[in-house]
Chain A
């Protein structure tokens, strides 16, 4: 456009400003063509094709699910791993709003966004995995199986998703210019935070409690009446470590979306969160030992599954705990960030163990998942990353909106 045309252009629409980053369509399209986007796009297309097959030919066409092992990666990753990794929202909002730890305020919005997207995509995985996904609202409105732990999970995920959306809404309100709505949402932040913690306590532990119904199927080293508490505590560690790790990624990959306050605060925030995570991990480890003692299956530690259990607990819980203590004390930000990723992997391993690997451990032959499930999972993760980036590039998540400097 010529300079004169730009100055007199009255067609700068809301859509162009808010959705297309203020660029013309052609400029925006050109901007979209990057290597990352192309690769992500290919993966997403692959995944969508497979999802199409799932809906036209049934779950059996794209999963390794069997009559003995009905759940695979969609729930193992999307629900059982995705939900603890999305504990970022309730952990950070508790720290900032309830415990008054203002030093962590710069990362609260990012944490809320990650939590909201995590639960949203958990629901999307559910919609793919449920046999009759259009009936997803049934346990909410139609028929209540109140003796079921899964009933509790369903209600809580629905309520918590709404809660996270409302907690994140101030960012959306600032972006869209919806000042009144934004003010209302801010006013109920404390109430939402408390509500969010209640819901999180219950559903993080409920996801573990679901497996209390399978004493004969879940390997004795993992089956324990302490599963609910173990799941809840490890979810807190997961939330802390995901914030550490994603903050690290934003510093390098989304730097232009962040303001200087945010970037300058990250090192101290990382060290603080890392130290907190070390406390949570040592508590988690201690409870694992208690659960082991309670189960009294020490002899099983000397079996292949026993070795795998020791790997999960010593290498992916105890070791990161020590690394975080050391890194926190010596101010080694890089070590804390690396250990955070390591801890995240450990929690994913634990959730996959309980829901997939150590479940039905004594069946002679089984296929845990197939490549099609894996591709679909990667594709949904790609979509999740793209949606996250879309939001961060437009809304004040890593920075403050110029009109709305922090007052809450």
Chain B
């Protein structure tokens, strides 16, 4: 393949043109996904857990089980013996309440675990088929019709919330708290908030709940730790916690930072169009250089042969 100037211009333009097209086609969707900034996010709902009020009655667990039509547990909700061990969410258990001994006070403290409904969820950015979505109402929900069961959302979630039905061979699902999306989209408050007898769980608009939490802390500064967990953690979550004991004693992860998790892979993804545009030129250049070297070597060999025969 001899390369003359015309060929080079033609092939070079074709290569650059197609790689620019390819690069921009790829760059667009990745840009479009970028979640709206926190400040301009349309306001949705959130929930507030106040662990100074929680008495560990587990009526929230029972309500969650009922409104989501989950199977009855082996140990009934009224049996407090289950609180002796720390539990995590399971495929048929969207929320659990754990008990923590507290030597400072005379009574133990409790913390309810469930999906944090992050403002910019790691699971939503991880899902390669967009089966997990952050709804305008604030709930993070999962679509049965799209999930392929890759379980990357489980690896991504810093709170270890999504669970998988490992013993369902036919259509194993990812299960987690949905902030009772099927209820809140009809104007009914989530089951756990409705069932709580001591108003340890509150449902409302995000900004209202943050204000409520700040009011509680301000009005009783000796009772509360001066921090709303979820206000800034991982860029903000729509499930907030206030507590009378340090949050790490409630097994809330303190090392998650304030950067929304999707930011961690954005840098890599922006490099993709770069490779798509630059590599063809770079590699095409190597190839052209190699061919040129070969042509020169062939020409020199032919010249040497000609000289030999002329002698």
Contact = CB atoms under 8 A, between A and B. Distances in A.
B246 interface: no
Contacts of A143: 129-131, 146
A57 B146 contact: no
Q: How large is the interface on B (under 10, 10 to 19, 20 to 34, 35 or more residues)?
A: 35 or more
Contacts of B155: 70-71, 210-211, 213-214, 217, 359
Contacts of B131: 143, 145
A213 B265 contact: yes
B156 interface: yes
A55 B170 CA distance: 8
A225 interface: yes
Interface in A186-243: 190, 193-194, 197-198, 201-202, 205-206, 209-217, 225, 228
B151 A213 contact: no
Q: How large is the interface on A (under 10, 10 to 19, 20 to 34, 35 or more residues)?
A: 35 or more
Interface in B117-152: 122, 124-131, 146-152
A97 interface: yes
B105 interface: no
Contacts of A71: 151, 155
Given A130-B148, A131-B147, A194-B284, A213 B268 contact: no
A212 B293 contact: no
A93 to B, nearest CB: 11
A130 B155 CA distance: 14
A58 B279 CA distance: 43
B158 A225 contact: no
Nearest to B291: A100
Contacts, number: 180
Interface string A37-71: 00000000000000000111111110101011011
Chain A interface, DSSP helix/strand/loop, else mixed: helix
B164 A70 contact: yes
B28 to A, nearest CB: 9
B84 interface: no
Which of A63, A97, A138 has the most C-beta atoms of chain B within 10 angstroms of its own C-beta? A138
Contacts of A148: 125-128, 152, 265
B286 to A, nearest CB: 5
Contacts of A99: 286, 290
Contact of B275 (A100, A130, A202): A202
A215 B257 contact: yes
Given A58-B169, A213-B155, A144 B286 contact: no
A190 B166 CA distance: 45
Contacts of A322: none
Contacts of A215: 158, 257, 264
Interface string B291-307: 10110000000000000
Contact of A139 (B128, B257, B275): B128
Interface in B50-71: none
A181 interface: no
Contacts of B128: 139, 145, 148, 150-151, 154
A146 B147 CA distance: 15
Given A71-B155, A198-B276, A213-B126, A59 B287 contact: no
19 contacts: A57-B167, A59-B164, A63-B166, A71-B151, A97-B287, A131-B147, A131-B165, A133-B149, A135-B149, A145-B131, A194-B279, A194-B283, A197-B283, A210-B155, A213-B126, A213-B155, A216-B256, A228-B268, A359-B155
Interface of A: 54-61, 63, 65, 67-68, 70-71, 94, 97-100, 130-133, 135-136, 138-139, 142-152, 154, 190, 193-194, 197-198, 201-202, 205-206, 209-217, 225, 228, 359
Given A135-B148, A145-B129, A151-B128, 13 more contacts: A58-B169, A65-B164, A67-B88, A70-B151, A99-B290, A131-B147, A145-B128, A147-B125, A147-B262, A147-B265, A148-B152, A149-B268, A190-B287
